[in-house]
Structure 1
Amino acid sequence: MAEFWEEAFKNKQEMWGLEPAQSAVLTHDFFVSHGVKNILIPGIGYGRNAKIFKDSGLSVTGIEISQTAIDLAQKHFGKDLTIYHGSVTDMPFDQALYDGIFCYGLIHLLDKDERIKLISDCYKQLAPGGYLVFTTITKEAQTYGQGTLISKDRFALFGGVNLFFYDEATLQEEFGKAGLFEITTVTENYPFYLIKCQKKP
């Protein structure tokens, strides 16, 4: 995966533009209204979803597998943005506890063991009362069922990407122990779930 994303960011640079995703806007408003001060963004990319949080005065830390993406993020948003270089599968990178964690469009790239570990690792880094917000692709996406079936609801697609497609049953199964309290849908490039969890205060 490291080589795939490094090549993607080298070749396509800011491939999704600089405007935040709709999920990031919704999560920003939710975090601000709930008094979140410091957040972790696993899979921060080149930072397009970080800016809206930074502009509101939140402290933002990221994790990113591609050094090219980190360089782009620091070019756009300054060197004061802390980004750990590595895979989210190697979390934790620090011992900090965060008020909020926002993980956009990443978990569906992982296999089941990696997904369970990511949710668990993020939950462990939440401060008591903190919020975990994930977005992931749903089975309503037109790409569901395309490519080569790897395992249940997981397919090898174009260019070497493996995608797992969630439904509400799988969300309950994987996020249920992480304080899951709300599932909504949001349309990005694909239909996404916006998943909210809270750690007990």
Structure 2
Amino acid sequence: MTEFWESAFKDKQEMWGSAPADSAITAANLFLEKGLTNILIPGFGYGRNARVFTEKGLKVTGIEISETAIALAKQHFGESITVHHGGVGDMPFDSHQYDGIFCYALIHLLNETERAKLINDCYRQLKPGGLMVFVAISTNTPTYGEGIRLGKDWFVTKHGVKLFYYQPESIEKEFGNHGLLEATEISEPAKNIESKPSQKFWQIVCKKDSPAK
């Protein structure tokens, strides 16, 4: 997987453009509304989603596996943002607890064991009262079922990328013991763009009121 993303970033550089995802804007506004200012972004990429947080005055720390993506991020942010180099499977990278965590389009790339570890690690790094927001691909997206089936709602695409598609049952199963507040099905981007057809995702919000069971 590391080799795939390094190759993708080198070939296409800023492959998703510079505009933040719609859900990143929503999450940044939610964090601001709740007074949450210190934010962790696992799967930082080259920082297109981070900009909406920093522009709103939030402090951001990232985690990113691709050295190429980190180099691109430094072109935008310089040394103003700390981006830990490594995979989310190696969390935690620091001993901090964060007010908020935003994890965009990453968790569905992991297998069941890896997903459970990511959710648990993020929850552990949340301050009490903090929120974590995950954006994960939905079984209602047009590409659901394409590729080779590996298991229930789990497929490998023609590009060799493994995707786990979420539905309400799996959201409850994986996030239910980690302060699940709500899961809202969204479209990303909200409006179809010729080069980026709209896909269906879940925006999953959890709050840390008590330790995970």
The equivalent residue for 1:191 is: 200
Map 1:167-178 onto structure 2 (within 5 A).
167-178=167-178
Map 1:132-143 onto structure 2 (within 5 A).
132-143=132-143
What amino acid is the match of 1:77?
F
- Provide Cα deviations, 1:181-201, integer angstroms capped at 9, x if missing partner: 111121014101000000016
Task: Indicate conservation of the 8 Å contact 1:148/1:155, yes or no.
Answer: yes
- Within 1, Cα distance between the matches of 2:182 and 2:167? 14
The equivalent residue for 1:99 is: 99
What amino acid is the match of 1:133?
V
Say yes or no: does 1:29 pair with 2:29.
Answer: yes
Task: Indicate conservation of the 8 Å contact 1:99/1:131, yes or no.
Answer: yes
Instruction: Give the 3-state SS of the residue equivalent to 2:8 in structure 1.
Output: helix
- Within 1, Cα distance between the matches of 2:54 and 2:68? 21
Task: Indicate conservation of the 8 Å contact 1:22/1:186, yes or no.
Answer: no
The equivalent residue for 2:50 is: 50
Map 1:42-81 onto structure 2 (within 5 A).
42-81=42-81
Say yes or no: does 1:200 pair with 2:209.
Answer: yes
Unaligned residue ranges in structure 1 (runs of 5+): none
The equivalent residue for 2:40 is: 40
Deviation at 1:57, TM superposition (A): 1.3
Map 1:104-115 onto structure 2 (within 5 A).
104-115=104-115
What amino acid is the match of 1:13?
Q
- Within 2, Cα distance between the matches of 1:76 and 1:156? 33
- Within 2, Cα distance between the matches of 1:34 and 1:158? 41
Deviation at 1:78, TM superposition (A): 2.0
- Within 2, Cα distance between the matches of 1:27 and 1:55? 13
What amino acid is the match of 2:92?
P
- Within 1, Cα distance between the matches of 2:158 and 2:104? 20
- Within 1, Cα distance between the matches of 2:49 and 2:107? 16
Unaligned residue ranges in structure 2 (runs of 5+): 189-197
The equivalent residue for 2:157 is: 157
The equivalent residue for 2:119 is: 119
Deviation at 1:158, TM superposition (A): 2.3
> Sequence identity, in percent?
55
- Within 1, Cα distance between the matches of 2:156 and 2:185? 24
- Within 2, Cα distance between the matches of 1:78 and 1:181? 35
What amino acid is the match of 2:116?
I
Deviation at 1:118, TM superposition (A): 0.3
Task: Indicate conservation of the 8 Å contact 1:19/1:48, yes or no.
Answer: yes
Higher helix share: 1
